A and B are shown apart, each in its own frame.
Chain A
Amino acid sequence: MTELRKRGGGDRDAENISDKDTDGEDRFGLGGEGDRDSKPDTDTPEVQPSVDNTPKCLNKALAGMSSRWKNWWIRGILTLTMISGFFLIIYMGPLPLMLMVLAIQIKCFQEIITIGYRVYHSYELPWFRTLSWYFLLCVNYFFYGETVAENFGNLVQRDEPLQFLVRYHRFISFALYLSGFCMFVLSLVKKHYRLQFYMFAWTHVTLLIVVSQSHLVIQNLFEGLIWFIVPISTVICNDITAYICGFFFGRTPLIKLSPKKTWEGFIGGFFSTVVFGFIFAYLLAQYNYFVCPVEYSESNSFLIDCEPSDLFVLQDYTLPSVLQTVLRWKTVKIYPFQIHSIALSTFASLIGPFGGFFASGFKRAFKIKDFADTIPGHGGIMDRFDCQYLVATFVHVYLTSFIRGPNPSKVLQQLLVLQPEQQLSIFNTLKSHLTETGMIPPAIRGP
């Protein structure tokens, strides 16, 4: 909730010491930080007084309660606000969703880079900020260009300048990146080589983590809103249910990195999340709006309408005999997607927390309490999204490996770009293949 360092300037001593000594937290007397973490309201003595970002109205409403419950209420209210906001944006459609993902990505990037600046006192050298943002722009341009080229085929075919941009897209992106690289080399200043290289590496690792993840999130979104909503919801659910289970039953600590996590919370969260995912998938799979791939139609708008694939059609499954005796049903009608949702929930509960541990370790390493204080009661955007890290990649890999094949329009695009002889040979191979499988009656020839 509070930052250990303020922007630019601030406590000279703390900053000077931090760089030079080891990670020996004993110097700061933070060896007991583990204990302190469990009481969220006590500040470590070296830290600036906390900045209270809570809106005035909330403060007034909760003025009467003790500070611990007040904290809990703030967190709760903000959680509900965020979840409602999430559902509202889903209702509004794919484009606002994409914009939201973009906004979150930019904010996460900014938070992490700000931490890097602070750690390396690089705030004064103006090139750093420009270059970091420039690299963010380049990478985003590259990724969004690929997305547009793949999914907005109709739009691209019509516009001449867009066609040019798409055809030479990689070259243009590479040229943009190169300019940034050359500017970096030219900006190397004698006394600050090491700092500048740190920031360069920091920027690239952040881009690798944050931007490619958000790109994969958008790819998942185009596959069908359900592939976007269910993973994110299961991670949020896991967070909340693990917290609640830990709150009521928590006894055995899980990992030294995050002393507040307990085994009971972990396992309770796992089972609750699987059940939640199962039910939630059942609810969402009924609506075409969530299930169909997002397409960009001729009429300049997003189209979400299709014949649901087999995954989203109710089917009968025979229960294994164990469950049969327990539930006394022979068969059950579920969507095949719900079985996949179990895999997604399992991953979100078991591996998702590792993303959280990674972020905790990161915060410990650089001695910050939260990434930022954007959200009152929760910290920065990155704090909310640290467990989402890896889940987006997993869903994308899962999709491409087990669910869908290649994108037919993309294959068609590639086909049309080939040399005519190659097209002809592919045509003949395809024709013989289709004739074999009986899609084309062999006797019919003609236009």
Chain B
Amino acid sequence: MTELRHRGPTEKDLLQQQQESESEVRTDGEAPSDSEIKPDPGVPPTVDDTPEVLSKALSGMSSRWKNWWVRGILTLAMISFFFIIIYLGPMVLMMIVSALRGQAKHNLKFRVSCFRDHHDSLPPILYHLPWFRTLSWYFLLCVNYFFYGETVTDYFSALVQREEPLRILSKYHRFISFTLYLTGFCMFVLSLVKKHYRLQFYMFGWTHVTLLIVVTQSHLIIHNLFEGMIWFIVPISCVICNDIMAYMFGFFFGRTPLIKLSPKKTWEGFIGGFFATVVFGLLLSYVMAGWRYFVCPVEFNNDSNRFEVDCEPSDLFQLQDYTLPSVLQSLIGWETVRIYPFQIHSVALSAFASLMGPFGGFFASGFKRAFKIKDFANTIPGHGGIMDRFDCQYLMATFVNVYIGSFIRGPNPSRVMQQLLALRLDQQLHIFNTLRAHLIEKGLLSAIEEAA
């Protein structure tokens, strides 16, 4: 909930941190004892970031309940904010995802800088080497440019074809991105300073791992979004629900600890959260699958220059009758049930969110233990940094993307068309003939009648 280290340390802090670092170095990565909540002695006092209004309203309660209320209110605020953004539409969602990614990366970077200071007993030196921050942000920019360029090329193809500069940028996109990255790489090599080689390589490696984790994930999230907002909302909601449900089950029934890494998690919470999330997923997808706004792929309308979410819902989102297995039949007394096929997929998504999502959380907990921080930052009062909220989302976006790619849809037809038109004419003819033979075989194309 609070940072153990401040931004821009004061001299007194530096001294304390140096003392800390000496003892840290001797124990070589030994984590503090199991209590996550007790702050380290010798650490600067915690910063309370809660807004004044909340503090006043809750001033009467004991600190434990106050904490609980702060967390609860902020949770509701975030969820409402989330739904408002969904209402505003895909474009805004994309911008939010980018902003979050930048913030998350900033959090991670900052953590590392602080850690590095102590490890090498050179507190302020890192901030005096201006290249580090510039380079990290530059690499973030390059990778973002690359990913967004690919997205634009894929989904905004008509727009791209129209504008001449965009067309050139799109055609040589990979080359341009690579050149940008190379420039950063050469700048890194030229910026190597004699006494700080190791630090600089750490930062380089750190930046790349962070980019790999954070940026790839958000790129995949945006891909999922274009597939249909439901593929974006349901996974994220399942993870949030699992978080909340596991917490509540653990709060009321929790007894057996789950894993040494996170002493607050319990088996009861884990299993209860699993079942609750599956049920929640089923209900939420039932509600959402009825609305075109959520179900249709996001398309960019070339004429009106806006995003369009309108289509004929695919089979996944049409109600169908399913015969219940006899076990459930005797239980519930219904013979068939009308559900969307998508709800069956949502069971898979919820199951993944409940079983694997926590591993992302454990990863982040281990990470925080390893580098002795309580939270990634204190951006959100009561919850910590952005990364704290999103640590369980890690892996979820990748899973959804892989799931969609493997089981739901094939390749993007407009992209295939683009590639077709880029081929040589004789290759196109060859493909044309093969395709025609294939379609005639399947009976889609009558050999005699070929409509103009």
Binding site for B on A (CB under 8 A): 19-26, 167-168, 170-171, 174, 178, 181-182, 184-186, 188, 190-197, 201-202, 204-205, 208, 255-257, 351, 354, 357-358, 361-362, 364-366, 390, 393-394, 397-398, 400-402, 405-406, 408, 411-412, 414-420, 422-431, 433-434, 437, 439-440, 445-447
B interface with A by C-beta (< 8 Å): 25, 27-31, 120-122, 171-172, 174-175, 178, 182, 185-186, 188-190, 192, 194-201, 205-206, 208-209, 212, 259-261, 356, 359, 362-363, 366-367, 369-371, 395, 398-399, 402-403, 405-407, 410-411, 413, 416-417, 419-432, 434-436, 438-440, 442, 444-445, 447-448, 450-451
Instruction: Compute how far the CA of A424 lies from the CA of B403 in the bound complex, rounded to whole angstroms.
Output: 26
Residue of A nearest to B190 (CB): A255
Chain B residues lying within 8 Å of A197, measured Cβ to Cβ, are 366-367, 370-371
**Which one, B30, B182, B198, B435, contacts A351 given CB within 8 A?**
B182
Give bound CA distance, A22 to B193, whole Å. Answer: 13
Name B410's contact: one of A24, A178, A414, A434 (CB within 8 Å): A414
Whether the pair A408, B186 counts as a contact (CB closer than 8 A) is no
Residue in A22, A418, A429, A445 whose beta carbon sits within 8 Å of that of B411 in the complex: A418
Question: 3 closest A-B pairs (Cβ-Cβ)?
Answer: A193-B370, A365-B197, A194-B29
Kindly state the separation between the CA atoms of A440 and B422 in the bound complex, as whole angstroms: 18
For A408, the chain B residues whose CB sits under 8 A away are: 423, 427, 430-431
Query: With A192-B29, A430-B428 known to touch, is A398 a contact of B420 (CB < 8 Å)?
Result: no
A201 touches B206 (CB 8 A): yes
Please tell me if the beta carbons of A411 and B182 are within 8 angstroms of each other in the complex: no
Contacts of A194 in B (CB 8 A): 28-29, 370-371
A430 — which chain B residues lie within 8 A by C-beta? 420, 428, 431-432, 435
Contact in complex: A394, B178 (CB < 8 Å): yes
* Closest CB in chain B relative to A12 CB, distance in Å: 14
Other-chain contact of B416, A192, A193, A361, A411 (Cβ < 8 Å): A411
Majority SS at the chain B contact face: helix
Question: Nearest CB to that of B394 among chain A residues?
Answer: A181
Looking at the assembled complex, report how far the CB atom of B368 sits from the nearest CB atom of chain A, in whole angstroms.
9
Report the separation of the CA atoms of residues A401 and B174 in the bound assembly, to the nearest whole angstrom: 7
A20 to B438, CA, bound (A): 67
When the two chains form the complex, which single residue of B194, B427, B431 contacts A25, counting CB atoms closer than 8 Å? Answer: B194
Tell whether A196 pairs with B359 under 8 Å between CB atoms, given A415-B416, A424-B444. Answer: no
Beyond A25-B195, A201-B206, whether A406 also contacts B423 by CB under 8 A is yes
For A445, the chain B residues whose CB sits under 8 A away are: 450
Q: Inside 8 A of B420's CB, which chain A residues have their CB?
A: 411, 415, 426, 430
- Contact partners of A397 in chain B: CB under 8 A: 174-175, 178
A residues in contact with B212, CB < 8 Å = 204, 208
**B411 lies within 8 A of A431 (CB):** no
Docked complex Cα distance between A20 and B260 (Å): 28
Interface residue from B198, B259, B444 paired with A366 (Cβ < 8 Å)? B198
Q: Is the CB of B30 within 8 A of A191?
A: yes
B198, B200, B442: most-surrounded residue (chain A CB, <10 A): B198
